Amino acid sequence: MQTAAPTSDAATRKRYYDTIAPQSLAPLWEVLKGLVPPEPRSKAVPHVWSYSKIRPLLLEAGKLLTAEEAERRVLVLENPALPGQSRITPSMYSGVQLVMPGEIAPAHRHTASALRFVLESDGGYTVVAGERTIMQRGDFVITPNGAWHDHGQEKDTPLIWVDGLDLHMINFFETGFMEHHNEKAQTITKKDEDSVARYGSGLVPMTGGSPFGMTSPIFNYRYEKSRAALMDIVGQGKPDAHLGYALRYANPLDGGWAMPTIATWLTQIPKGFETKDARCTDGRTIIVVEGEISAEIDGKTYRMGESDIGVIPSWAWSRIRADKDAIVFTFSDRAAQEKLGIWREEKR
């Protein structure tokens, strides 16, 4: 026998909700559409930060406080739709960091994995787990999860880079830890570029894995080598319609992404070439290394020159046109999404 469908007015339902609330209960049917949307709805919005505007403000900060006072002298790249949250996308943190001549950013370590993409450097360096590497413009430098690291500049020019961290993924799981080193700078325990010598020549040791777990054992992917590899494929066949000519940074031990949670890749787009529309579930941060581009994101065009930084939110339609021959560095949370089996893309 079929029972009659229940009926109630808004006031009756409200009384019911008020009854269950003190029991720490809530009606799923009132929130289901928000919890399981028909497609991704990013809280972030597209935005571009002009390096010509950031740089003088960063140098001004260099006159206000020391690197030791700040611990990390950084201007956070805040997505305009997420003010006060230190998010460039909902899952990623990014900022532009400055180390002035003669300074050392003190040694510490933390749960979050970090990348540095170098914008300006003449002899600046970073030390990771007792190994020092000189940083040059365009270098992609990794600070693995849990590794001690400090940064310094012994020359008379500023050292500037873009930071990218999986900070908000770590904080979502409530697994964040941070520890300060007993000394301002680490003791160097390995020869300079030791990781590149061991793992960066196309050969790897017969035994043992990465000293950094799931993170690549190479922590400085030099732009000189990365650019040369990229330019070797330019002109070898047509560029990918949605990517241009693109190479991803890889862990030499397993061929996967260089970092376990953050995907990174380098793209060359010939002058006049325009990629076709595509969208994907990872919010992407892009940095123009060379040339000029016009990025159309959800119908609005953003022009970017060298060292400018932009954000493409999750599931936003985008295309990129090179106004001059361009090379673009990209990072996103795609590596984490792929491991969870949730990354998705759509192309036109």
The three-state secondary structure class of 105 is strand
Identity of the residue numbered 65: L
What is the DSSP annotation of 266-279?
EEEE-TT-BPPPEE
CA dist 226 and 123 (Å) reads 19
Containing 121, the helix (H) or strand (E) segment is none
- Which residues sit opposite 127 in a β-bridge? 132, 150
Interacting residues of 264 by C-beta distance below 8 A, sequence separation 6+:
115, 140, 248, 249, 257, 258, 329, 330, 331
Query: What does residue 78 show for φ and ψ, rounded to 5 degrees?
Result: -95, 125
Residue 205's pLDDT is what? 84
Burial status of residue 253 (CB atoms within 10 A of its CB: 0-12, 13-18, 19 or more) = middle
| pLDDT interval class at 6 (50, 70, 90) | confident
- Which residues sit opposite 109 in a β-bridge? 179
Containing 49, the helix (H) or strand (E) segment is strand 47-49
Rounded to 5°, the CA angle 87-90-93 comes to 35
Identity of the residue numbered 53: K
Q: Is the pLDDT of residue 152 over 80?
A: yes
Strands 93-99 and 278-280: unpaired
| CA proximity to 118, closest of 221, 194, 259 | 221
Residue 67's pLDDT is what? 84
Share of the chain above pLDDT 90, in %: 86
Contact 322, 272 (CB under 8 A): yes
Mean pLDDT of 235-260: 95
Residue 150's pLDDT is what? 94
Burial status of residue 136 (CB atoms within 10 A of its CB: 0-12, 13-18, 19 or more) = middle
- Which residues sit opposite 94 in a β-bridge? 164
Residue 289's pLDDT is what? 98
Mean pLDDT of 264-272: 98
CB 145: neighbour CB atoms within 10 A? 20
- Tens digit of each residue's pLDDT (9 = 90 or more) over 176-192: 999 999 999 989 999 88
Q: Where are the alpha helices (DSSP H) in the chain?
A: 10-20, 32-35, 51-64, 67-70, 167-172, 194-199, 223-233, 334-340
Residue-range domain boundaries for the chain: 47-347
Q: Is the pLDDT of residue 109 over 70?
A: yes
CB 290: neighbour CB atoms within 10 A? 16
Interacting residues of 191 by C-beta distance below 8 A, sequence separation 6+:
131, 197
Contact 115, 163 (CB under 8 A): yes
- pLDDT mean across residues, the chain: 95
Mean pLDDT of 141-169: 96
CB 144: neighbour CB atoms within 10 A? 22
CB 138: neighbour CB atoms within 10 A? 21
Q: Is the pLDDT of residue 285 over 90?
A: yes
Residue 284's pLDDT is what? 98
- Please tell me which residue, 163 or 8, carries the higher pLDDT value: 163
Q: Which fold has domain 47-347?
A: Jelly Rolls (2.60.120)
Residue 225's pLDDT is what? 96
Q: Is the pLDDT of residue 253 over 80?
A: yes
Residue 279's pLDDT is what? 98
Q: Is the pLDDT of residue 1 over 80?
A: no
- Tens digit of each residue's pLDDT (9 = 90 or more) over 299-337: 999 999 999 999 999 999 999 999 999 999 999 999 999
